[in-house]
Chains A and B, each alone.
Chain A
Amino acid sequence: MRRYFGRKLLIYGLTFFMAVTVNWLVPRLMPGDPVASMLARARVAQPEAQEALRVYYNNLFGFDLPWWQQYLNSWGSLFRGDFGISLWAFPTPVADLLTRAVPYSLALLVPSILLSWVVGNRLGALAARRKVLDNTVLPVSYVLTATPYLWLAALMAWGFGVVWGIFPVAGGYSFSMTPSLTWAFVADLFWHWLLPFASLFLVALGGWAIGMRNVIIYELESDYANYMSALGAPQKLIRRYAFRNAVLPQITGLALQLGVLVAGALVTEIVFSYPGLGSLILAAIQNKDFFLLQGAFLFIVLGVLIANFIIDVVYVIVDPRTRVGMAGAAA
């Protein structure tokens, strides 16, 4: 058990290292100079003043150092919990921007991933045993799972927001309101949250339902199910066993899908102008904001790694076979 988690932690550590390195490298490979655009925004006419500002900015962000020193410094500040200062929203620290955005992203991601997984599995299991449901759930699921996140999001924003005007199409809450802990504000938050959540939930739902249906059908024809039927066990018990065993590959699927789901959520946030990490990343890219981009990606990487680790732990709890593999089988 200890060796298993030790190995897992090592792998996660390596992944984290690689991710941080790539995150550091990629923004710096983008064409364009962020300091130049900041100077352009500052509208300084005098060449001397401009030069002085350039030197000040370059020194402030450390761009005057050799690249390897910049890289090492970025690790150093990372461990101090310092994400740097945003270039785009200068002089707001990146950490402040992130703490404002992360709750919105989590509020979208966690419920949509978990609910779509739970509901999709139930739906798939039902479809596996009822012909009528199978003939309706399956085609709908195929359409949903083949739908790109942003397309469904755009369609819903247009339909429910623009055409029927039921839902707001942008923002985390109404512009006329100030954040406070009142029922009116919470209701407003919920109203804004509903459409982006629904589009994420629906697209993910189809995939889980299809997967579950197929695995359940396979499990119901397995040897242990046949043996139970031959001994006259009621279908209820056999289905319970089959469902429990069919959930296992779905848990693995969840671990594999996390990255895709997060990416989908980022795009969806942009469509709905939802003030989460996705919108932040878009702004960072458009303004060549290295530090903000690095910080946002770091959060995503950390989130996906933590979620994967939780799934690893859960898997060990629910599947005895993984535990046996760790301890060595008894004779």
Chain B
Amino acid sequence: MTLEVDDLRVYYRTLKGDVQALDGVSFPLRDGEILGLAGESGCGKTTLGKALIRLDGRMKHVGGSVTLDGQVLPIGDDAKMNPYRFKHVSLIPQYSMSAMNPTRKIGRMVRELLESRREKLDLDELHNRLDLVELPKDVLGKYPIELSGGMKQRMVMVISTLLNPSLLIADEITSALDVSTQKAVVTTLKGFRDRGFVKSMIFITHDISLTNQLADTIMVMYAGKLAEKAPASTVVNAPKHPYTQLLISSLPEVGVRYADKRLTGIPGNPPSLLKPEPGCRFRDRCPLAFEKCAEDPPPVEVEKDHVVACWKAA
């Protein structure tokens, strides 16, 4: 077991009170497993990703624990978390285009970054990995501005995985890319896993169809809670949670014309997480809602590796 997340709660401090962006999420991640984390904006997927590596100034760790390779990560303590970052947990950020210091040559930046972590730069290994993502060696002598967007993205992917972390968090890294580049990125990430550069991976995205190509397991979140987690094919073909069902059915299918039947989407909006009412957070939008939904539905393993948090599914 690489990663064990147990009842993790991370809130955002605001002037009006705490926003319960991540409210009691538990899941395991096996060695070599790629977990696709899906859901709409504001569902807590980025908060979860950040919580595993670096909380920003407004976030606070309220409860729950994260265990990586048998060690409990001190996620609430920025300084104590530092030794784990990069070496054990690493991140490919949303903002690859601007993730590198614009006034340092890339090679020098990588060397300084590694030196600051007291790691030696293995130049041959770095060249190998550049080869693997089809970047020429001379990018190391260039400034970030001299690279195209796709090159920057690949460079950041190489930097982030340089120390072979156990867990890699890829946060919305395909959002700004065109479809053919998305495919290339997904293939590269799979290659990193297969070569053992990273042990396991959490791939955060709002694009379920893309997740399906990469992930072994898909976890769908809604309003800060886990809705459904199952092997990728199960989530896509036989989802149990009404939210997942609606999410999948609102995706266009290849070869189907939508002239007669319009794609509907899910009516309504997610609830405010400032002071959420108890009970299932999806119930206002759920076509199947009934009295029982006023109570919190616990995540239940309905079959092996298939967890659903819904009274109707259990």
Which A residues are closer than 8 A to B by beta carbons? 222-224, 226-234, 236-237, 241, 244-245, 248, 318-321, 324, 329-331
Asked whether any CB of chain A lies closer than 8 Å to the CB of B275, the reply is no
Shortest A132–chain B CB gap in Å is 19
B98 cross-chain contacts in A, Cβ below 8 A = 222-224
From B53, B81, B84, B93, contact of A223 by CB (8 A): B93
Shortest A129–chain B CB gap in Å is 14
Contact of A245 with B93 in the complex, beta carbons under 8 Å: no
B147 cross-chain contacts in A, Cβ below 8 A = 330
**With A320-B145, A324-B145 given, is the CB distance from A230 to B102 under 8 Å?**
no
Interface 0/1 of B71-97, CB less than 8 Å to A = 000000000011111110011010100
Asked whether any CB of chain A lies closer than 8 Å to the CB of B112, the reply is yes
**With A232-B83, A237-B113, A320-B145 given, is the CB distance from A227 to B99 under 8 Å?**
yes
Asked whether any CB of chain A lies closer than 8 Å to the CB of B311, the reply is no
The distance in angstroms between the C-alpha atoms of A21 and B303, with both chains bound, is 89
B86 cross-chain contacts in A, Cβ below 8 A = 231-232
| Chain B interface, >50% SS class | loop
Interface 0/1 of B48-82, CB less than 8 Å to A = 00000110100000000000000000000000011
The distance in angstroms between the C-alpha atoms of A291 and B257, with both chains bound, is 86
Asked whether any CB of chain A lies closer than 8 Å to the CB of B146, the reply is yes
Asked whether any CB of chain A lies closer than 8 Å to the CB of B183, the reply is no
Asked whether any CB of chain A lies closer than 8 Å to the CB of B312, the reply is no
Which chain B residue has the least Cβ–Cβ distance from A327? Answer: B146
Contact of B112 with A232 in the complex, beta carbons under 8 Å: no
A329 cross-chain contacts in B, Cβ below 8 A = 145-146
Number of A-B contacts (CB under 8 A): 80
Contact of B99 with A233 in the complex, beta carbons under 8 Å: no
Counting chain A CB atoms within 10 Å of each CB, which of B91, B95, B102, B156 scores highest? B102
Counting chain A CB atoms within 10 Å of each CB, which of B56, B81, B101, B105 scores highest? B101
Contact of B82 with A244 in the complex, beta carbons under 8 Å: no
The distance in angstroms between the C-alpha atoms of A230 and B165, with both chains bound, is 13
Contact of A230 with B145 in the complex, beta carbons under 8 Å: no
The distance in angstroms between the C-alpha atoms of A309 and B99, with both chains bound, is 32
**With A226-B93, A320-B143 given, is the CB distance from A245 to B85 under 8 Å?**
no
A324 cross-chain contacts in B, Cβ below 8 A = 143, 145-146
The distance in angstroms between the C-alpha atoms of A72 and B92, with both chains bound, is 67
B83 cross-chain contacts in A, Cβ below 8 A = 232
Shortest B280–chain A CB gap in Å is 34
* In the complex, chain B residues 105-153 whose Cβ is within 8 Å of any chain A Cβ: 105, 112-113, 116-117, 142-143, 145-148
| Chain A interface, >50% SS class | helix
Which chain B residue has the least Cβ–Cβ distance from A229? Answer: B54
From B82, B101, B103, contact of A232 by CB (8 A): B82
Which chain B residue has the least Cβ–Cβ distance from A227? Answer: B99
Asked whether any CB of chain A lies closer than 8 Å to the CB of B13, the reply is no
The distance in angstroms between the C-alpha atoms of A50 and B85, with both chains bound, is 91
* In the complex, chain B residues 154-179 whose Cβ is within 8 Å of any chain A Cβ: 156, 159-160
B186 cross-chain contacts in A, Cβ below 8 A = none
Asked whether any CB of chain A lies closer than 8 Å to the CB of B104, the reply is yes
Contact of A321 with B93 in the complex, beta carbons under 8 Å: no
B104 cross-chain contacts in A, Cβ below 8 A = 241
Contact of B85 with A223 in the complex, beta carbons under 8 Å: no
The distance in angstroms between the C-alpha atoms of A227 and B169, with both chains bound, is 13
Shortest A150–chain B CB gap in Å is 39
Contact of A234 with B116 in the complex, beta carbons under 8 Å: yes
From A230, A318, A320, contact of B91 by CB (8 A): A230
Contact of B145 with A223 in the complex, beta carbons under 8 Å: no
Counting chain B CB atoms within 10 Å of each CB, which of A231, A244, A329 scores highest? A231
Which chain A residue has the least Cβ–Cβ distance from B146? Answer: A330
Contact of B54 with A224 in the complex, beta carbons under 8 Å: no
From A232, A248, A321, contact of B85 by CB (8 A): A232
Counting chain A CB atoms within 10 Å of each CB, which of B53, B56, B116, B147 scores highest? B116
Asked whether any CB of chain A lies closer than 8 Å to the CB of B100, the reply is yes
The distance in angstroms between the C-alpha atoms of A231 and B113, with both chains bound, is 9
Which chain A residue has the least Cβ–Cβ distance from B93? Answer: A227
- Name 16 interchain pairs, CB-CB below 8 A, sorted by A: A224-B98, A224-B99, A224-B100, A227-B93, A228-B101, A230-B54, A230-B85, A232-B84, A232-B85, A233-B116, A241-B101, A245-B101, A245-B102, A320-B102, A320-B143, A321-B102
